[in-house]
Amino acid sequence: MEGEFVSMQEIVVVSPAWGRFDRQVLAEDGSVDQGTVIGTVRDGGPDVLVLSPVRGSLLSWIAWAGERVSPGAPIARILPET
C-alpha cells in the first residue's frame, strides 16, 4: 500500500573510550549475541572492550579498523532480533 513502510530500530554501538579501534573478524549481516566482543579500543593503557548491547545482526561497520575514536563515536550498526 502506498505510504506504508517497515521501521527498523537499529542500535548504534559507540566507542566507550579514546584510542584506536580494532574490530573483530565479524561479517556484515552476521549474527551477534548480546555481550559479543565486536572490537577493542586501545590507547597505551588497558584495552577497552566494545560489546554488542543486544542480540541481532551486524548491519554495518561505521568505524574503520585502526581508526582513532573518541567516547561516543559511532562504531557499528546492529539490528536487534525481534
- Output b/e per residue, 42-73; b: 16+ Cβ within 10 A: beeeeebebebbbebbbbebbbeeebebeeeb
What is the mean pLDDT, run by run of 10 residues, along the chain of 82 residues?
65 96 93 96 94 96 96 96 84
Question: Which CATH number fits the domain 11-66+73-80, given the four candidates 3.90.180.10, 2.30.30.100, 2.40.50.100, 3.90.45.10?
Answer: 2.40.50.100
Tell me the one-letter amino acid at 48: V
Q: Which residues, at least 6 apart from 2, have a Cβ–Cβ distance to it below 8 Å?
A: none
Contact (Cβ atoms closer than 8 angstroms) between residue 57 and residue 14: no
pLDDT confidence of residue 32: 96
Q: Which residue has the cell 579501534?
A: 21
